[in-house]
Amino acid sequence: MVDALRVIRDDGSTDPRLDPKLPEKEALRLYRGMCLQRILDSRMLALQRQGRIGFYGPSLGQEAAIVGGAIAMQPDDWIVPQYREPGAALVRGMPLKDLLCQLIGNSEDPVHGRQMPCHYVYRKGNYLSISSPVGTQLPHAVGIAWAMRLRREAHAVLVFFGDGATSTADFHSAMNFAGVFRAPVVFLCNNNQWAISVPVAKQTASGTLAEKAAAYGFDGIRVDGMDALAVYRATREAADRARDSGGPTMVEAVTYRLGPHSSSDDPSRYRDEPEVASWRARDPLVRFRRYLEHAGLWDDAQEARLEQEIGDEITHAVQEAERAGPPSPDTLFTDVYAQMPGSLREQMQGLGVRGR
């Protein structure tokens, strides 16, 4: 494997030349965000199996590459997700209940039950709606970044995508436009080794994904995606440069999808357990916990308290969300036209609902 930037060593100490020196509060916020995403995943997969939500895309193994990247951005920056980053929205302040209501698609779902399940959005946190078609979020992110340049706003955009997305035409269009127009974007590629059942070796003939950036005229950097501080450092530097008119950067986080692609997938049908086990041994939560312990910031009692707290928060959010009823039928018609056309009004009346 080509060397990737790494900050946290096996014993929890850090490379002093690379350590971003996170303040204690930030380090704990990052760890909490990763633990929340981990626990949320197992709870949501269980809810899906019980038929209480329709669909879920977990991110087991990718917590550092997601939360480490999100936390490196400023609140006025934008985050453009693929579909595995609830941790990035939650760390920006998205209420868990809003996420749960979207997963159920009920009357309190911020998008009124109209999106596909597990396609949440957090407008207040500048977190764009999820893109299911692989790669389509990349030109959207570059568009937002270009708008920032035109408005002379010194912000940046962080866009998440997978190794599979690097094979799409949208990846090329987005990288090319961003390079030519120096759009303030950080392209964070979560190379989790698989695109459902297609391994990364069948996705590209390039040695790395990061090196693709060179063809578009900007830097690509490869980081250990199981190391939250490495992802944080690279993303932070790239975002600072972007805000400072230095143009885009691609960050390839080398990571692994330890779980299924989604609640509809069974990875044992296409990959071998020894491969999974070798990556499980590099668990990003264990690595970061070792760092916290080494710095004297964490112990077993704090870990137990955090797990309990997160578990209770999720239970509470599920209870609250399950109390809301289904969306009212008039939401089939609202929010589309400023002036509802007569044909729609007729259908709405036919359904026996009143317009708003």
Distance CA 86, CA 91 (A): 9
Q: Which residue has the tokens 């928060």?
A: 313
Q: Is 4 in the site for Mg ion (CB under 5 A)?
A: no
CA atoms within 13 A on the CB side of 311: 6
In the bound state with ligand TPP, the residue whose beta carbon lies nearer, of 107 and 262, is 262
In the bound state with Mg ion, the residue whose beta carbon lies nearer, of 192 and 235, is 192
In the bound state with Mg ion, the residue whose beta carbon lies nearer, of 246 and 267, is 267
Helix or strand (DSSP H, E) at 318: helix 300-323
Q: Is 257 a catalytic residue?
A: yes
| From 195, 210, 229, 318, residue interacting with ligand TPP (rule: CB under 6 A) | 195
What is the footprint of ligand TPP within residues 162-191 (CB under 6 A)?
162-165, 190
Which of 190-198, 208-216, 235-243, 331-339 is the region at the interface with Mg ion (rule: CB under 5 A)?
190-198
The active-site residue out of 112, 222, 236, 257 is 257
Q: Is 220 in the site for Mg ion (CB under 5 A)?
A: no
Distance CA 136, CA 119 (A): 14
Distance CA 49, CA 32 (A): 26
| Smallest separation (angstroms) from ligand TPP to the CB of 84 | 5
Q: Which does 40 bind (CB under 5 to 8 A by kind): ligand TPP, Mg ion, none?
A: none
Q: Is 112 a catalytic residue?
A: no
CA atoms within 13 A on the CB side of 222: 16
Residue with smallest beta-carbon separation from ligand TPP: 162
In the bound state with ligand TPP, the residue whose beta carbon lies nearer, of 113 and 225, is 225
Q: Are strands 185-191 and 194-195 parallel, antiparallel or unpaired?
A: unpaired
The active-site residue out of 140, 233, 261, 282 is 261
| Smallest separation (angstroms) from ligand TPP to the CB of 10 | 26
Q: Is 247 in the site for ligand TPP (CB under 6 A)?
A: no
Q: Is 192 in the site for Mg ion (CB under 5 A)?
A: yes
What's the Cα-to-Cα distance from 43 to each of 29, 103, 108, 180, 232, rounded to whole Å? 21, 12, 20, 44, 27
Binding mask 83-122 for ligand TPP (x = CB under 6 A): -x--------------------------------------
Of 111, 90, 92, nearest in space to 102 by CA: 111
Distance CA 129, CA 120 (A): 6
Q: Is 241 a catalytic residue?
A: no
* Bridge partners, residue 224, by sequence: 254
Q: Is 162 in the site for Mg ion (CB under 5 A)?
A: yes
Distance CA 254, CA 64 (A): 11
* Bridge partners, residue 190, by sequence: 162, 253
Q: Where are the alpha helices (DSSP H) in 15-152?
A: 24-49, 63-71, 86-91, 96-104, 137-150
Binding mask 104-143 for Mg ion (x = CB under 5 A): ----------------------------------------
In the bound state with ligand TPP, the residue whose beta carbon lies nearer, of 192 and 208, is 192
What's the Cα-to-Cα distance from 86 to each of 33, 233, 241, 319, 356, rounded to whole Å? 10, 21, 26, 19, 32
Distance CA 353, CA 345 (A): 10
**Interface ranges with ligand TPP (CB under 6 A):** 84, 132-134, 162-165, 190, 192, 194-196, 257, 261
Q: Catalogue the active-site residues.
A: 257, 261, 270
**Interface ranges with Mg ion (CB under 5 A):** 162-163, 192, 195
